[in-house]
């Protein structure tokens, strides 16, 4: 049984997220109740929530789902699950269990296709060391899939996006450009190898990166998803009250992504992310337009950006490279001056 899931959508994956600018304006007007045991909530727009159970344990709670971003159902399930699980690793945690979130048009697509999506998702949850323990389904078009995930972390070892320290070095573990590559595939502008490499990157768990961060006591990180590299770094800079400098030439790019941008193949989500970032105090004047648009690329299941003490950088890079071979140092954390971000 085969079915081209891409025939159901104009765009999928994390490119389908709401505009970060519109979301920020909405959240500013909402005030959620808090609790002394809520260690990470909505204030800094972090990757997941963290709630303290006792002096030794805190639960991580997160969710993510989206429409198809590839044709194959099993692969879609793998990528959607990998993307949802990533938030637990970004907080320094261990995956415990997950619930399937399913929106599927049973009267338009054979139910066996849903079975393949679920198999792909379960494979990745199993690889993460967790369990699928149920879920929820509604009849909806186009199909959408993801997870609600529960993880575990020690309350004193939480990694957040709001603890960047001046002098920290930024390490990125995966190349960027997934949304651009997927757009190029839909327009038949790239070959199968470039597309395959992008899918493989999106299927790669951030589990090992999370383990390395815990081993070296990294306390500030975020995974790179729908708001693009610069969108997530802006939230990190503001949450930590620092300036983050990025060397655009050192940011690893997926093969073929820059050529697509140069041809004018720029996904709509990149412009939404650009509007969000450039409406704030940022300086990106020294970066070429083509590179800039890739820094706004709405990543799906992207890599981890971690803030690392300078004396630990070499050892961490040495451990990450065999698993995430495009790992690079991309910038540093500085005192806030006039900009949250400086890109050169």
Supply the residues annotated as catalytic: 14
For tokens 């990157």, the residue is: 201
Number of neighbouring beta carbons within 10 Å of residue 153: 24
Omega before 315 within 30 of 0, i.e. cis: no
Rounded Cα gap, residues 102 and 141, in angstroms: 11
For tokens 């997941």, the residue is: 48
Per-position b or e across 273-304, b if 16+ CB within 10 A of its CB:
bbebbeeeebbbeebeebbbbbbbbbbbbbbb
Number of neighbouring beta carbons within 10 Å of residue 139: 11
For tokens 């006591």, the residue is: 217
Please report which helix (H) or strand (E) contains residue 105, including its range: none
For tokens 């690079």, the residue is: 328
**Token pair for residue 190?**
């790239």
Residues 6+ apart with CB under 8 A from 305: 170, 171, 172, 173, 221, 222, 223, 224, 229, 232, 233, 236, 330
The full DSSP string for 53-97 is -SSS-EEEEEEEEE--SSS-HHHHHHHHHHHHHHHHHHTT-EEEE
Please say whether the dihedral angle defined by the alpha carbons of residues 11, 13, 15 and 18, taken in this order, is positive or negative.
positive
């Amino acid at each position: 049984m085969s079915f081209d899931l891409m025939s159901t959508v104009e765009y999928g994956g994390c490119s389908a997220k709401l505009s970060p600018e519109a979301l920020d304006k909405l959240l500013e007007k909402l005030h959620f109740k808090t609790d002394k045991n809520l260690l990470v909530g909505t204030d800094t727009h972090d990757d997941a929530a963290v709630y303290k159970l006792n002096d030794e344990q805190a639960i991580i709670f997160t969710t993510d789902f989206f429409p198809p971003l590839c044709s194959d159902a099993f692969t879609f399930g793998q990528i959607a699950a990998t993307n949802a699980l990533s938030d637990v690793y970004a907080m320094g945690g261990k995956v415990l269990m997950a619930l399937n979130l399913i929106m599927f048009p049973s009267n338009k697509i054979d139910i066996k296709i849903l079975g393949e999506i679920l198999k792909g998702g379960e494979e990745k949850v199993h690889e993460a060391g967790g369990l699928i323990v149920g879920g929820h389904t509604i009849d909806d078009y186009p199909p959408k899939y993801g997870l609600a995930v529960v993880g575990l972390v020690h309350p004193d070892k939480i990694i957040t996006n709001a603890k960047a320290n001046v002098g920290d070095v930024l390490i990125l573990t995966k190349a960027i450009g997934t949304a651009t590559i997927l757009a190029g595939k839909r327009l038949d502008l790239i070959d199968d190898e470039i597309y395959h490499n992008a899918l493989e990157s999106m299927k790669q768990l951030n589990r090992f990166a999370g383990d390395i961060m815990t081993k070296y006591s990294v306390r500030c990180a975020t995974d790179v998803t729908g708001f693009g590299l610069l969108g997530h770094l802006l939230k990190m800079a503001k949450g930590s009250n620092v300036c983050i400098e990025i060397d655009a030439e050192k940011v690893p790019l997926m093969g073929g992504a820059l050529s697509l941008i140069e041809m004018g193949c720029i996904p709509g989500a990149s412009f939404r992310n650009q509007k969000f970032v450039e409406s704030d105090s940022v300086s990106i004047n020294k970066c070429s337009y083509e590179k800039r648009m890739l820094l706004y690329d709405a990543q799906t299941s992207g890599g981890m950006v971690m803030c690392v003490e300078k004396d630990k950088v070499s050892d961490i890079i040495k451990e990450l490279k065999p698993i995430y071979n495009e790992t690079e140092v991309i910038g540093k954390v500085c005192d806030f001056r006039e900009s949250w971000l400086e890109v050169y």
